[in-house]
Amino acid sequence: MNMSYNNRSNEEIVSLLDDYEETINPVENALLMKERVAHYATMEEKFSFVYTTTAAYMRYVFESKNELFENDAIDACVESIAAITSTYLNIFPTIIKFISPKYTTHEHSTNVAFFAAIVANKLRFRDEKSIALIYAALVHDIGKLRIKSEILEKPSSLEEYEFENVKQHSTMGCEILRKNGITSQSVLHGVQFHHERMDGSGYPDQIKGRKIPMIARIIGMCDVFDALTTQRTFRKNYSSFQAMLLMKKEMQDQLDPQLIEIFILLHH
């Protein structure tokens, strides 16, 4: 299948992903991704194959509501993301062009993993640390498997008790990961603390500053950027430039300002 997206509209990209997901076994395709990606020639084709295959698998995970997932499939997705982002260091504009402004949990998870991988390369993380970051970024919202769909998809503002329920997803995510045999403290910290903020206004533990693990600060920043650049029921999406400007001007106290500067440099 030709996954090249040059000159495609956002609507065509969404349709491509939907059609692709209906024609393959998402678990099998994830497991075979590292082998099959070699069949594509250009950066754009390789990226779109890895992205779409990863998003399809994450869609399967979130829609199945099964807390026991295929660790090997997650590993294959993570390793493929690491490989393509380290091979093509100028891939950031390609990712921005490709991703859909439509918000879904599985595409959001995939987007955050790619953004985190690019930051890892910029910071020259060693392979093991980079893999842990990408893994945590890909599953950072896995705790939402335990949140009712009517809360996650509610078109209006959440009631206080509903928001309190949603705020538990990072802790519940760690519980699910441990249930799947994940013991890496780096991965668990990335999931547990990705909603903590530098000024202590985050959750679940209101830790602040450098006490927030670096892996969680990176995921938190990438999470915010993707949330801003995708459409929500209560607002339209920002452009990537607008989102970065907002993060730099209004979120310096919440997000790591040094990471914001690095992220902005990646956009050029």
144 as an active site residue: the answer is yes
Give the Cα separation of 4 and 130 in Å (integer). Answer: 27
Give the Cα separation of 185 and 183 in Å (integer). Answer: 6
**DSSP bridge pairs for 231:** 102
Identify whether 155 is preceded by a cis peptide bond (ω within 30 of 0): no
| Assigned architecture for domain 10-266 | Orthogonal Bundle (1.10)
Backbone angles phi, psi at 230, to 5 degrees: -120, 150
Which residues lie closer than 8 Å to 68 by C-beta, 6 or more apart?
A: 179, 180
Q: Which residue has the tokens 């998809």?
A: 153
Q: Are 190 and 216 in contact (CB under 8 A)?
A: yes
Q: What pLDDT, in 10s, does the model give residues 119-139?
A: 999 999 999 999 999 999 999
Q: What is the pTM of this model?
A: 0.91
Is 206's pLDDT higher than 90? yes
Is 4's pLDDT higher than 50? no
Q: What pLDDT, in 10s, does the model give residues 7-41?
A: 445 555 555 555 554 557 999 999 999 999 999 99
Q: Which of 46, 102, 144, 167 is catalytic?
A: 144
Specify the pLDDT at position 267: 80
Between residues 19 and 245, the one the model is more confident about: 245
Give the Cα separation of 199 and 209 in Å (integer). Answer: 7
Specify the pLDDT at position 134: 98
Is 150's pLDDT higher than 80? yes
* Domain residue extents for the chain: 10-266
Is 160's pLDDT higher than 90? yes
Give the Cα separation of 5 and 97 in Å (integer). Answer: 9
Q: Could you tell me the CA-to-CA distances from 205 to 160, 184, 196 in Å, in that order?
A: 18, 20, 7
Q: Could you tell me the CA-to-CA distances from 244 to 92, 184, 220, 240 in Å, in that order?
A: 14, 31, 14, 6
Q: Are 209 and 254 in contact (CB under 8 A)?
A: no
Is 174's pLDDT higher than 60? yes
Torsion sign across C-alpha atoms 26, 101, 218, 178: negative
**DSSP for residue 254:** T
**DSSP for residue 180:** T
Q: What pLDDT, in 10s, does the model give residues 38-61?
A: 999 999 999 999 999 999 999 999
Backbone angles phi, psi at 168, to 5 degrees: -80, -5
Give the Cα separation of 68 and 176 in Å (integer). Answer: 8
Average pLDDT over residues 185-212: 98
